[in-house]
């Protein structure tokens, strides 16, 4: 925030307790108004008013702020500037750009995002027309490919009195006048207020993540919501990064909320290096990164979630499918708890405030597939990681989140320890979108999708049951058919469910190859069962080297179905020769 010379009210600091500051003298200040605290104008937000004392949470380190220091309010809720220049950028929790040449994040930084940049504006509306909110005014091209649609902002409507001709414009320069209101390429938006849309459109369209275990077993549709709970070391961040890189949405908002700095730079470097298989552009050009690492001010972490979803809604309004990845919502909940504790609110479960459930619900409910104000269709899919303390899935954030999301991709510590990645557990995960996905898949021509899914889930469940038996009696004591079930489940895990995020062939998997891999395991399983039924000893079948089945996923490119088919045919031929 820049220093405020035009502050509406000036007050004084009374109390400072870490990121919580009590202010007196701000008459008429409203809840969630932004304030500038002290000489350096530290950004804060009013979150409580009690008679003449207003309580602010501060988005920066406020060491040195003393009672008596001035506080100014500009009478505006916490807002961000939405416009061209967001894609490919890295921002903090309140959308101030993080330029790579600034090493240390000292308090009181200025933050006008992309204010100085100019954009080539191509108008496409007609002067004199009656425009509603969300109507198209023109376009700006970002990066190599992205068509950034400039719309009439929400809250503005009327006759288009003037429209700039094609040419260069800065973000804040007026390009149109509608009903007497000047409209620029960018506009301000309060982050805590969901952006309006015409209606939820109820459309069912697949979101392909390129991750086999998700697309085959626990699929998600555009506009849905998912939670990824997992203890540390189970690969939450890696799975979320994989989705950010490979899912087929048009815009990705990656919110690193209270996570590691080294991970953030890892994902930034990867996104800059990798090409989008659909457009050929760098993946970074479709991504907005909001980085609030764990050592950055804790209250900005609380805001970063809302910032992320507001940016997503901005792109949704242009008619795009957007995915918001929040890693991790637990750190956001902890910011809520820290604030509650510092303001002496009565704690509910484990010190979290009683509002935790409604705050989580409000966040996940901003997901959805919508008809926008302008009449096009766009969606926001929300995928939030949860970091349960001690891996305890009954803790408040995990348990509450489960109530509000449509998919849970639960990560299992035992799988992770066995280096089975992604460690998505088949006991704890679910997808309430699976049935609808089955219908869509069938309509798209893949009629076997639902059946293959049930086969895989049944095989995993059966082998899980058998494995607990094996622990007691040893594999040799099982009947041959059950030993084959164990063998096939192992193949299923190794050949299909495991996916190597570091391999250029395997990090992403096209849907036809996904289907081919699962079909291969299915076919081998049935052939093996036939062989034991015909009297071939399971011992002998277990000795068969099936390593090439497990490595088929890495042979050939991400879309290479022929390589998989070749492996399947070779193995079936080998099995056919056994009598």
Query: Of 389-418, which residues contact another protein (CB under 8 A)?
Result: 389-392, 417-418
Instruction: Closer to another protein by CB, 293 or 381: give it.
Output: 293
By the rule CB under 8 A, 551 interacts with another protein: yes
By the rule CB under 8 A, 64 interacts with another protein: yes
We find the least distance from the C-beta atom of residue 181 to another protein, in angstroms, to be 35
Residue 115 tokens read as 């204010």
By the rule CB under 8 A, 506 interacts with another protein: no
We find the least distance from the C-beta atom of residue 389 to another protein, in angstroms, to be 5
Rounded to 10°, the helix 434-443/449-473 angle is 130
By the rule CB under 8 A, 547 interacts with another protein: yes
Q: Residue 179: which residues within 8 A CB-CB, separation 6 or more?
A: 156, 157, 158, 159, 161
**Can you tell me which of 208, 284, 316, 331 binds another protein, judged by CB under 8 A?**
331
By the rule CB under 8 A, 349 interacts with another protein: no
Long-range contacts of 357-362 (CB under 8 A, 24+ apart): 357/400, 357/403, 359/333, 360/329, 360/333, 360/397, 360/400, 360/401, 360/404, 361/403, 361/404
By the rule CB under 8 A, 233 interacts with another protein: yes
401 strand-pairing partners: none
By the rule CB under 8 A, 341 interacts with another protein: yes
By the rule CB under 8 A, 245 interacts with another protein: no
By the rule CB under 8 A, 490 interacts with another protein: no
SS3 for 280? coil
Stretch that binds another protein, among 195-203, 292-300, 309-317, 480-488 (CB under 8 A): 292-300
By the rule CB under 8 A, 338 interacts with another protein: yes
Instruction: Closer to another protein by CB, 161 or 505: give it.
Output: 505
Report cis status (omega within 30 of 0) of the bond before 328: yes
Identify residues 122-181 at the interface with another protein (CB under 8 A): none
The whole-angstrom separation of Cα 53 and Cα 49 is: 6
**# binding residues, another protein (CB under 8 A):** 72
Radius of gyration, CA atoms only, the chain:
27
We find the least distance from the C-beta atom of residue 239 to another protein, in angstroms, to be 14
By the rule CB under 8 A, 28 interacts with another protein: no
By the rule CB under 8 A, 492 interacts with another protein: no
**Can you tell me which of 43, 94, 291, 356 binds another protein, judged by CB under 8 A?**
291
Q: Residue 66: which residues within 8 A CB-CB, separation 6 or more?
A: 13, 16
By the rule CB under 8 A, 258 interacts with another protein: yes
**Can you tell me which of 28, 126, 165, 472 binds another protein, judged by CB under 8 A?**
472
Identify residues 369-388 at the interface with another protein (CB under 8 A): 387
Identify residues 82-111 at the interface with another protein (CB under 8 A): 90, 98-106
Alpha helices in 421-510 (DSSP H): 434-443, 449-473, 480-491
CA-based torsion, 86, 359, 29, 66: positive or negative: negative
Q: Residue 450: which residues within 8 A CB-CB, separation 6 or more?
A: 434, 435, 438, 441, 442
Angle at 294 (CA atoms; ends 293, 298), nearest 5 degrees: 100
């Amino acid at each position: 925030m820049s220093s405020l010379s035009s502050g509406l009210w000036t007050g004084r600091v009374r109390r400072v307790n870490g990121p919580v500051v009590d202010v007196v003298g701000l008459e008429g200040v409203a809840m969630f108004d932004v304030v500038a605290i002290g000489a350096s104008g530290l950004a804060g937000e009013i979150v409580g008013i009690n008679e003449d004392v207003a309580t602010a949470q501060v988005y920066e380190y406020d060491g040195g702020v003393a009672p008596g220091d001035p506080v100014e309010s500009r009478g505006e809720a916490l807002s961000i500037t939405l416009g061209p220049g967001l894609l490919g950028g890295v921002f903090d929790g309140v959308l101030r750009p993080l330029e790579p040449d600034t090493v240390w994040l000292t308090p009181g930084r200025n933050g006008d995002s992309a204010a100085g940049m100019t954009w080539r504006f191509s108008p496409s509306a007609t002067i004199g027309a009656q425009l509603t909110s969300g109507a198209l005014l023109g376009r700006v091209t970002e990066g190599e490919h992205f068509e950034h649609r400039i719309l009439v902002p929400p809250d503005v409507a009327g006759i288009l009195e003037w429209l700039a001709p094609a040419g260069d414009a800065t973000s804040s320069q007026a390009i149109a006048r509608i009903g007497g209101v000047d409209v620029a390429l960018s506009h301000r938006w309060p982050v805590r207020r969901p952006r309006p849309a015409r209606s939820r459109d109820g459309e069912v369209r697949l979101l392909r993540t390129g991750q086999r275990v998700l697309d085959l077993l626990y699929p998600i549709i555009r506009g849905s919501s998912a939670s990824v709970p997992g203890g540390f070391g189970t690969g939450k961040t890696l799975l979320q990064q994989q989705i950010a890189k490979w899912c087929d949405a048009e815009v990705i908002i990656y919110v690193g909320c209270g996570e590691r700095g080294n991970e953030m730079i890892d994902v930034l470097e990867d996104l800059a290096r990798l090409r989008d298989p659909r457009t050929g552009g760098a993946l970074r050009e479709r991504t907005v990164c909001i980085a609030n690492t764990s050592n950055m001010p804790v209250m900005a972490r609380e805001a970063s979630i809302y910032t992320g979803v507001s940016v997503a809604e901005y792109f949704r309004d242009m008619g795009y499918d957007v995915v918001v990845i929040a890693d991790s919502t637990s750190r956001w909940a902890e910011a809520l708890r820290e604030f509650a504790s510092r303001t002496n609110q009565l704690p509910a479960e484990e010190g979290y405030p009683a509002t935790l459930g409604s705050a989580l619900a409000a966040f996940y409910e901003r997901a959805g597939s919508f008809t926008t104000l302008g009449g096009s269709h766009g969606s926001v899919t929300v995928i939030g990681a949860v970091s349960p303390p001690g891996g305890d899935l009954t803790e408040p954030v995990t348990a509450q989140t489960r109530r509000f999301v449509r998919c849970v991709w639960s990560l299992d510590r035992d799988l992770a320890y066995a280096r089975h990645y992604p460690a998505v557990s088949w006991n704890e995960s679910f997808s309430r979108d699976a049935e609808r996905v089955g219908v869509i898949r069938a309509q798209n021509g893949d009629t076997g999708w639902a059946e293959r899914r049930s086969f895989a889930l049944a095989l995993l469940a059966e082998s899980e049951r058998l494995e607990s038996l094996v622990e007691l009696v040893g594999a040799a004591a099982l009947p041959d058919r059950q030993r084959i079930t164990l063998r096939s489940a192992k193949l299923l895990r190794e050949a299909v469910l495991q996916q190597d995020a570091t391999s250029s062939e395997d990090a992403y998997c096209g849907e036809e190859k996904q289907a081919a891999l699962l079909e291969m395991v299915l076919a081998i399983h049935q052939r093996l069962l036939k062989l034991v039924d015909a009297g071939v000893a399971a011992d002998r079948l277990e000795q068969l080297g099936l390593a090439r089945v497990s490595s088929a996923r890495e042979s050939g490119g991400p879309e290479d179905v022929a390589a998989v088919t070749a492996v399947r045919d070779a193995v079936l031929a080998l099995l056919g020769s056994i009598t």
